[in-house]
Structure 1
């Protein structure tokens, strides 16, 4: 067995216009001061990384590593959640998702997709230059508007959607393969890849591409009423990244999984800070350790009640307390009698 690394923190929800969240140095100092050992970097924030330069220059990456190392931190993964989302966008969402891309491609879905694909390919190369082996992203979605089959979906619609999604990602995943990096999809409502079944459908269209993997985040499974512990048993060989995020699902007589278009505070299912929700993290850390997951445990803060600063402060210790230093010996080693084939046959009476 192997020991999980951490605690680490995803910086996306913390960056802002005021210190300490407005520069790489200041946010690293803040994170290290809370006890974090790693940071997950959102590649769309130019204050943290120049993605194109990182893809092209090992020297730039060495200098970036040095700056972060000066604070006692490591880079866990790069993230292209926003860019990955734009690899596949149904036209119903064009206007809303334009905000994830630069102004020059707004209103031009083809140009926006090409921009997103290039971004994710650069992330694969940048990850290699940074010595990383995993990357986190979203899949995007062509089928999400058709999730609930009313009116009935046309025959073959789902199959066509997954063929197209796989066709868009195959060249990207090949770049990840060339650079020795796993692309880890966060299985998330709003994405075509949002649970185990949809991941399997995608993987089938990719002929089991070895670089198509999973960023495990139990919070999204709580909100879908999915067994997030059994999920680890089923897909542990594809889990290459881990977002530590809590959630709760409290259905009432008036709302359930879909939550009646309510805001986050008033939803039956909502994200919470670590320890404030319903996720059994002790069981999760045990299962991941059992299956030799030795990547990072990365806090993702998205609480609808608690402030990000308090969530981050409490989260570092929460993760540290859940990391299991795995044993290198069996508890009953002291009782080992030693034997050979002849002895075993004697014990069996044969």
Structure 2
């Protein structure tokens, strides 16, 4: 099977920000091309880079996104749904921590959050098709993560609150 490498490529998520050249797709592509990159992986949760729902439902918009990237001599290697993909399978122990990757409208509601994540992944598949892509980067989530890996990072105060709760529950028993 023959393949074509589109790289070297760069994942744009870790550079996304509010200030140029990291504030929009055009600026960050110009920056990446200036560093010699040939491909970019676009994080779909960065709204200043792509409107995922619009790219899923409008071939014209997808062509505009592709045009911005191509105007800098770059190719889109894939779209990324790393953050949203994790929300497809969240262990209940991580509910609070993973809410941060979802819109506020589904916080505290694991079922709604999962439904949102699934729809987002379906939109990403449609957007990828509209962009002419045949590969995608994501994380699957994992119901086993609490047993093998500390991700995502714990919210500030979570461990302290757990110990405070242990103290509330055990103090009456220990006093007796």
Fold conserved between structures, TM > 0.5: yes
Q: Which has the higher helix share?
A: 2
Cα distance in 1 for partners of 2:123, 2:3 equals: 30
CA contact (8 A) 1:141 1:190 kept: no
Unmatched runs of 5 consecutive residues or more in structure 1: 148-188, 192-350
Residues 1-350 of structure 1 aligned to structure 2 (within 5 Å): 4-147=5-148
Hey, what does 2:166 align to over in structure 1? none
Write out per-residue CA displacement over residues 74-95 of structure 1, whole angstroms, 9 at most, x where no aligned residue.
1110000000000011111111
- Greater RCO between the two (CA within 8 Å, min separation 6)? 2
Relative to structure 1, the CA distance from residue 2 to residue 123 in structure 2 (aligned partners, 3 Å threshold; closer, same or farther) is closer
Larger radius of gyration: 1
1:5 Cα offset (Å): 3.0
Root mean square deviation, CA, Å? 1.5
Write out per-residue CA displacement over residues 30-78 of structure 1, whole angstroms, 9 at most, x where no aligned residue.
0000001111000001101110011111111111111111111111100
Write out per-residue CA displacement over residues 128-167 of structure 1, whole angstroms, 9 at most, x where no aligned residue.
00000000100101122234xxxxxxxxxxxxxxxxxxxx
Unmatched runs of 5 consecutive residues or more in structure 2: 152-176
Relative to structure 1, the CA distance from residue 60 to residue 141 in structure 2 (aligned partners, 3 Å threshold; closer, same or farther) is same
Q: What is the aligned length?
A: 150
Cα distance in 2 for partners of 1:190, 1:104 equals: 26
Cα distance in 2 for partners of 1:190, 1:134 equals: 28
Cα distance in 2 for partners of 1:54, 1:101 equals: 19
Q: Which consecutive segments of 4 or more residues in structure 1 shift more than 6 A?
A: none
Counterpart of 2:23 in 1: which secondary structure? coil
Relative to structure 1, the CA distance from residue 3 to residue 60 in structure 2 (aligned partners, 3 Å threshold; closer, same or farther) is closer
